[in-house]
Amino acid sequence: MKVSTEFFRAVFASTMVISITPTVASAATTFNKDVLPIIQENCLICHRPGGDSTAGMAAPMSLMNYKEARPWAKAISKVVASREMPPWDATLDTHGQFINERTITQEQIDTIVRWVETGAVRGNPQDMPDAKEFPDSDGWVIGIPDLEVYLDEPYWVADDVIDIQPRFTIEITEEMLPEPRWMKAIECRPGSEVVHHIFSTATAPAYGEHPEERFALASVAAGEDPQQYPDGFGNLLRAGTTVSISMHYNKEQGPGTGKWDQSGLGFKFYPKGTEIRHKVTWNALGVNGTGNMHFEIPPGHPNWEVGFSGTFEEDTLLLSVHPHMHYRGKDFRYTAYYPDGTTEELIYVDRYNYSWQTIYFYREPKFIPKGTRIDALARFDNSETIKTKVPKLNIMRSVGFAAPSEDEMMIPYISYTHVDGEEAAAHREKWNKRDTSTD
């Protein structure tokens, strides 16, 4: 994607140092003993050859050893101290709730900062931890897919194109998929840096007593996670299904700017015979599943609020939340108003970053009782502050809902499934016993 390395290079290059003079005190904190274990645990998932390529964004440097990390020492210190890296834009009071949490402790931050301040020395080779092993994933976050599908033929994004949104379909044939399989994870893979985003859905034909079924598969935008289901949850993929792919290409216009693209999707399946208890729905809050499409951010406004609500008419298990805005997005909050009169802030993304559009996957599905209203509240910055960060934005105009990044969106995505009977009763009993002192 176009943002594949721009974020990293802008942050790291501005602080890169070639030499840091060691001091006597530097022996107290060393790379091999103190820093490398932190990097192994939190950074190498991306910062290594063949590392995870989240939304097509490959980390621009490897940090597997001292030789690779040393030139970036000061930059590493800066981005961890500011919590720009690892990328996690929600407040820390949700620590432990989300399975894909990317955070490091204050103690780990202090260790890295102290290592740099005291000379960024290597240390004793015998202090090095064992090399961390990673499975060969070819950049796929979900691992090597069980099934890969791509646009039937490459698509040319011509020189004169700035913004275009074509749609494509891919037919799942019996040759591709001889028998129906339950999906565990789906990942969109951009085929070019001019891909702005991808949104994919599946339409499964009727069979037997089952009617035609249409459901969302996965999407990808800057820094967005693949769609993944907790154990026992999923959707069925079978031959005859039509996969619809909505592409959005965005680039500079001019001679020589044209690019070919052949984006695709990867599917990971459950082992055959796995019991799947629930099908998953993924869309936005509200009846139409599109979020708030009717707003206008005034010129120059630094803190414009846009809200949207949805009420659950059935007992529900909430699997993930996923706020989506564009460049002017400032922060985003989901709040649950329960039928017993209590309130809970589900998540507050206080440092929304368009380059890292995280899906927040609950470690344990969260019970939402029938009658709960969830409010989503987003704030946008259309002032000089955002202009300094994104110079191409025109802050002298009103901004509404539209696809280009220079316009805005307010979409409070969620993934969920409904529950009833004994299962709902068990969840409700546990929910009634919850600690409400912090609600």
Residues 427 and 287 in one domain: yes
**Residue 246, strand partner residues:** 167, 199
Q: How many independent structural domains does the chain possess?
A: 3
Contact 349, 323 (CB under 8 A): yes
Residue 1 lies in a domain: no
**Has residue 392 been placed in a domain?**
yes
Of 278, 303, 323, the one marking the end of a domain is: 278
Same-domain check for residues 228 and 344: no
Bridge partners, 260 (sequence order) = 156
Residue 27 has a pLDDT of 52
- Of 278, 299, 317, the one marking the end of a domain is 278
Per DSSP, the residues of 16-74 read --S-----GGGGGS-IIIIIHHHHHHHTTTTSSTT---BTTB--SS--SSHHHHGGGHH
Q: How far apart are CA 292 and CA 211, in angstroms?
A: 30
pLDDT for the residue 59: 82
How many whole angstroms separate alpha carbon 407 and alpha carbon 395? Answer: 11
Q: Identify whether residues 394 and 292 lie together within a single domain.
A: yes
Decide if 142 is inside a domain: no
DSSP-derived secondary structure for 246-263 = EEEEE---STT--EEE--
Confidence (pLDDT) at 291: 83
What is d(CA 143, CA 136) in angstroms, rounded to the nearest whole number?
8
In a domain, 439, yes or no: no
Whether 246 and 272 share a structural domain: yes
Q: Distance of CA 316 to CAs 280, 365, 426, Å?
A: 11, 9, 12
Q: Are residues 13 and 119 in the same domain?
A: yes
Sign, CA dihedral 336-339-341-342, equals negative
Kindly provide the b/e burial profile for residues 233-247, where b requires at least 16 CB atoms within 10 angstroms of the residue's own CB: bbbbbbbebebbbeb
User: Is 223 part of any domain?
Assistant: yes
Q: Pull the structure tokens for residue 93.
A: 């009071």
Specify whether 37 is located in the same domain as 156: no
Question: Can you read off the two tokens belonging to residue 154?
Answer: 């490459």
Contact between 136 and 230 under an 8 Å Cβ cutoff? The reply is: no
* Per-residue confidence (pLDDT) for residue 75, from 0 to 100: 95
292 domain residue, yes or no:
yes
User: In the block, which residue shows the tokens 């003993």?
Assistant: 33
Residues 321 and 266 in one domain: no
Residues 242 and 320 placed together within one structural domain of the fold? no
Domain membership of residue 70 (yes or no) is yes
Return the number of other C-beta atoms located less than 10 Å from residue 85's C-beta: 24
Q: Are residues 359 and 303 in the same domain?
A: yes
Is 316 a domain residue?
Answer: yes
- Full-prediction pTM beyond 0.85? yes
Q: What is the CATH number of the domain that holds 245?
A: 2.60.120.230
254 plus 313 within the same structural domain:
no
CA–CA separation, 100 and 83 (whole Å): 16
Would the CA dihedral through 21, 25, 31, 32 be positive or negative?
positive
| Domain span holding position 408 | 282-432
Using the 3D structure, point to which of 278, 296, 316 is the last residue of a domain: 278
- Per-residue pLDDT tens digits of the chain, which is 439 residues long: 544 444 444 444 444 443 444 444 445 899 999 999 999 999 998 898 888 777 666 788 999 999 999 999 999 999 999 999 999 999 988 888 999 999 999 999 999 999 999 999 999 999 999 998 888 888 899 999 999 999 999 999 999 999 999 999 999 999 999 999 999 999 999 999 999 999 999 999 887 777 788 999 999 988 888 999 999 999 999 999 999 999 999 999 999 999 999 999 999 999 999 999 999 999 998 766 678 999 999 999 999 999 999 999 999 999 999 999 999 999 999 999 999 999 999 999 999 999 899 999 999 999 999 999 999 999 999 999 999 999 999 999 999 999 888 999 999 999 999 999 999 999 999 999 888 876 5
Q: Which residue reads 């099934």 in tokens?
A: 147
* In a shared domain, residues 175 and 95: no
Collapsing DSSP states into helix, strand and coil, what is residue 220? Answer: strand
Same domain, yes or no: 314 and 406: yes
